Chains A and B, each alone.
Chain A
């Protein structure tokens, strides 16, 4: 009998110690979802996670100045800067096919329509909510601009418009420039010149 008592007396603090150990994992929260998640997190970092090791606390590190990542060597000035001999290029760095224009249309609709609108008239949704109105692509000055100029505006921004270089890859920027050219040409054409699928959308606007 007294043996049994001894074991229970020893078991209690042991049990308490075990529960305490488990609770140490709680890191000061009682939210059950957080508790569950904390047991699932390993000591490695996912993209954009917090890392207190660095002064700015970002686990995803910015590129070190002057280094070139694999596959990021950019020697083709025409393709990557849009400049030829210090002037905006008058040609595209690769042949423009129907596929490129289609890609350009898709990318244009994602990144440019909020402000420039589907027709490129500068009356997108955000402009209607108070954004500075960009010029229409169909004014004479922009009709006469080179493809390299449009590439440059996307790469470096222009006035109130920010740069899109971090979000749109160089080839896609050229594809957008090609699509803008197609938009401009279509403005001087009649509706019958437009492919059926595009025409339908234009008519619905």
Chain B
């Protein structure tokens, strides 16, 4: 009886073992890295909003503190998006004719909500809490970037798990004094205002604030 497979198939069989590994490996790493891409996570992409609210104008131009609008960021998991009433504390008096603000005025008159487009949105299986980060001296800018320079809101970080862990494993690279959490342009300095290294200052603050972030899965996946 003739052989079913020609002699050459041995080589083919050996190569195909390696080939399968290579193909599967490449496939997996493409999948994993796709998840990290700025393209898939919309990092640096300004989102179109129903009202073109500019943090640059309001924070840098007018000098309003984050907490004037994001009222619950210090004591709750949720930072809060301001209701239109907050906008109206000023815009009932100034720029009252601006067509850009018509949705705000209409919402205030009729009571229908403004549908802001979410920019930062963790998967629902992740637990995140603002208050602990604010109290342990992580600045808004560390996670959200130079918000005071954004005409429209965008993300500067992927919010991937590896990003959270990067800091939870080495918080000394990021912590700052509590009073500076809302400062958008903070640089590490000592009491006299001389520049110091972040890691040295961070190590000192970690002792002072008793910082010990957990990397247990159940911290973020409850």
CB distance from A135 to the nearest CB of B (A): 15
Check B191 for interface membership: any CB of A closer than 8 A. Answer: no
Cβ-defined contact, B115 with A50, below 8 A: yes
Query: Counting chain A CB atoms within 10 Å of each CB, which of B40, B93, B113 scores highest?
Result: B93
Give A39's nearest chain B residue, CB to CB: B123
- Chain B interface SS verdict (over half): loop
Cβ-defined contact, A131 with B94, below 8 A: yes
Known: A41-B124, A47-B78, A160-B93. A109 touches B65 (CB 8 A): yes
Cα A58 to Cα B113 in complex, Å, equals 8
Check A166 for interface membership: any CB of B closer than 8 A. Answer: yes
In the complex, which residues of chain A have a beta carbon less than 8 angstroms from the beta carbon of B121?
Answer: 37, 40
CB distance from B12 to the nearest CB of A (A): 19
Cβ-defined contact, B112 with A56, below 8 A: yes
In the complex, which residues of chain A have a beta carbon less than 8 angstroms from the beta carbon of B63?
Answer: 113-114, 125
Report B57-97 residues with CB < 8 Å from chain A CB.
62-65, 67-68, 71, 78, 80-81, 85-86, 88-90, 92-95
Cα A166 to Cα B122 in complex, Å, equals 27
CB distance from B113 to the nearest CB of A (A): 6
Q: List 7 A-B contacts (CB under 8 A).
A: A48-B80, A56-B111, A57-B113, A111-B67, A114-B64, A161-B89, A162-B85
- A residues near B, CB below 8 A? 32-33, 36-37, 40-42, 44, 46-48, 50, 56-58, 109-111, 113-114, 125-126, 129-132, 160-162, 166-167
